[in-house]
Amino acid sequence: MRRLLALAGLALALTAAGPAAAAHAAAAPEAAPPPAAVLASGGEEEGGETINVRVRDDETREDVPGVPVTVRFEGDVVGEGETDAEGTVSFDVPQPGEYEIELDLSVLPEDADLGVEENPFTTRVDPGTPRTVAFRLQAGIGDGTEGAADVGGFFAEIPWNRLPQLVVSGLRFGLILALAAIGLSLVFGTTGLTNFAHGELVTFGALITYSFHVVAGLPLLVAAPLALLAAAAFGWVQETAVWRQLRRKQIGLIAMMIFSIGLSFFLRYGFLYLYGGQTVFYQDFAAQAPLAFGSVRIPPSHLIVMGISVVVLIAFALGLLYTRIGKATRAVSDNPALAAASGIDVDGVIRVVWVVGTALAALSGMFFGLTQGMNFLLGFQLLLLIFAAVVLGGLGTAFGAMLGAVFVGLLIEVSTLVIPPELKNVGALAVLIIILLVRPQGLLGRRERVG
C-alpha cells in the first residue's frame, strides 16, 4: 500500500511541474541482456567470494533443476554441483578473479532442444562481492547447424530450425511494441510533440500493475484493469496539468521536447526510488508448461497476450476509422486550425489522445512485464525501438506505427539467426537511419505534415 500511495504521489507531482531545463541525454543500454547469461551484483557483504548460478528456461521462465554445473579457476576445477528445485546452486570460491562456469546440458531430454549461446561462460568475481550468473536456456541453440538448408557456404551455417520460433517471438514482440508506438504517434500527429517521456509511460503501466498485483495482493486479472484505469487517469493529469498549460503559454515544440526529456528523468528515477533497481516478475502465470506447435514452443500466457494485442489493435483501428472521436482525431492530425474552424474541440481531442495513448502504453508495459519481467529501465530500453517503429511507419500515422512495430519486432528476433543476440537491436536502428535518409516520411506517411 505504501508503494501505491507513493506512486500516486509521483503522478500528482506532475501537476506542480513547470517547464523544465534541458536534461542531458543518457546513453541507452542494451534493450535486453545477452541470452547466454546475465551478470548482476549479488550484494556487497564482506566475508568471502561466492558464485551463485541459476538456470532458467528463457521461454517459460521456469527454473531448471538437476543441471550439473562445474566451476574452474585457471583451468582447475574448484567446484561441482547440481541446480536444486529452484534452479540454483552456489559455490564458495577461493579468491577473486576470473572463473569459468560450464553447464552439462546432456542431462536434459533430447526433445527439449535447449541450449545457451555461451557455454562455458566466464565471469569475474570481485573481493567480498557475491556474483550471480543466470543462464537462460533457449530452444534450438546448441545443436550446431542441424536442420540447416544444404546450400553451402554462409547459409549452411545458419540454424534454420530456429526460424519458426524466432518468427513467433518477433511477432509477439512487435504486437506489444505496436501498443506503445500508437500513443507516441498520435501525440505527435495531433500536437507535433516528440515525447521522450513516452517510454516511462510503458514502465508506469508495468509497475503500477505490479503494485496492484504483488504489493496489494490482487489477482493479476483484477490488477490489470485497475492499472489501465490508473494509467488513463495519469494520462489525463499529464495533459491537463502539464502539456495544456505549456501550449497555452505558447511554449515552442523544441522547448516542450526538452521538457519531456527532463520529465522522463524525473519519472525514471522516481520509479527507481520506489521499486529499486532489481528486475521483478508477476506472480500469476509465471511458470507455465509451454504448448508445442511443431518446433515452436510458447506458453499459454504468451498466446493470450498476442491474442489480446491483436484484438485491441483491430478495435483501435476500427474506432479511428468509423467513430466520431476517431474521425475528429484524424481531422486534428491533418490540420488543427481547420478542425477548430469546423467546430471540433481540439483540446478535447488532444485530451482523449493522451488518455488513450497512455492506457495503450501501460497495456504494452503490462504485457512486457508478463513476458520478460520489468524494472525501472523497461521503457527507457524500449524507447529507441518505439521511435524506430513510428519513424518506419510514418510520423503521426497510427496505422504506420502498427506496421512499423511489427516489422521491427520481427527484424529484431529473426536477425539473431546471423548476429549475436546482444546486437539484435542494431538492425532496427539501422532501419531507422536508412528510412530517415531514403524516405523520411515513412512507409505510410506523407511528404509534408499539414498544420
Tens digit of each residue's pLDDT (9 = 90 or more) over 244-258: 999 999 999 999 999
CA distance 196 to 261: 5
Is 429 found in the same domain as 331? Answer: yes
Grid coordinates in use for 375?
A: 524494472
Grid coordinates in use for 369?
A: 512485464
- The dihedral region occupied by 220, where left means phi > 0, alpha psi between -120 and 50, and beta the remainder, is alpha
Last residue of one domain, picked from the residues 112, 143, 174: 143
**CB-CB contact of 129 with 41 (8 Å):** yes
Contacts of residue 274, Cβ cutoff 8 Å, sequence gap at least 6: 3, 6, 7, 10, 207
Is 373 found in the same domain as 306? Answer: yes
How confident is the prediction for the chain on average, in pLDDT? 81
In a domain, 211, yes or no: yes
Report pLDDT for 292. 83
User: How many domains would you assign to the chain?
Assistant: 2
Is 116 found in the same domain as 61? Answer: yes
**CB-CB contact of 35 with 58 (8 Å):** yes
Side chain identity, residue 265: F
What's the rounded mean pLDDT across residues 146-161? 52
**CB-CB contact of 50 with 42 (8 Å):** yes
Give 410's DSSP letter. Answer: H
**CB-CB contact of 117 with 36 (8 Å):** yes
**CB-CB contact of 420 with 427 (8 Å):** no
Is 185 found in the same domain as 132? Answer: no
Is 228 found in the same domain as 356? Answer: yes
Q: Is the pTM of this model over 0.75?
A: no
Q: Which range, 39-43, 157-161, 287-291, 396-400, is most confident? A: 396-400
Grid coordinates in use for 131?
A: 556474483
Instruction: Indicate if the pLDDT at residue 308 is higher than 90.
Output: yes
| pLDDT greater at residue 420 or residue 18 | 420
In a domain, 149, yes or no: no
Give 440's DSSP letter. Answer: T
| pLDDT greater at residue 8 or residue 98 | 98
In a domain, 157, yes or no: no
CA distance 357 to 187: 8
What's the rounded mean pLDDT across residues 385-411? 89
pLDDT band, very low/low/confident/very high, at 363 (cuts 50, 70, 90) = very high
Report pLDDT for 259. 96
In a domain, 372, yes or no: yes
Instruction: Indicate if the pLDDT at residue 162 is higher than 90.
Output: no
> What CATH number corresponds to the domain at position 102?
2.60.40.1120
CA distance 93 to 228: 47
Report pLDDT for 11. 53
Q: Phi and psi at residue 122, in whole multiples of 5°?
A: -105, 130
In a domain, 443, yes or no: no
pLDDT band, very low/low/confident/very high, at 48 (cuts 50, 70, 90) = low
pLDDT band, very low/low/confident/very high, at 19 (cuts 50, 70, 90) = very low
Report pLDDT for 151. 39
Is 371 found in the same domain as 349? Answer: yes
CA 54 to mean position of chain CA atoms: 22
> What CATH number corresponds to the domain at position 272?
1.10.3470
Q: Phi and psi at residue 289, in whole multiples of 5°?
A: -70, 130
Taking alpha carbons only, the member of 27, 30, 18 closest to residue 263 is 18
In a domain, 286, yes or no: yes
3-class DSSP state for residue 100?
strand
Tell me the residue range of the domain where 359 lies: 2-28+165-438
Q: Which range, 12-21, 234-243, 288-297, is most confident? A: 234-243
pLDDT band, very low/low/confident/very high, at 143 (cuts 50, 70, 90) = very low
In a domain, 150, yes or no: no
DSSP assignment of 294-345: TTEEE-HHHHHHHHHHHHHHHHHHHHHHHSHHHHHHHHHHH-HHHHHHTT--
Is 179 found in the same domain as 300? Answer: yes
Q: Phi and psi at residue 22, in whole multiples of 5°?
A: -65, 135
pLDDT band, very low/low/confident/very high, at 128 (cuts 50, 70, 90) = low
Report pLDDT for 246. 93
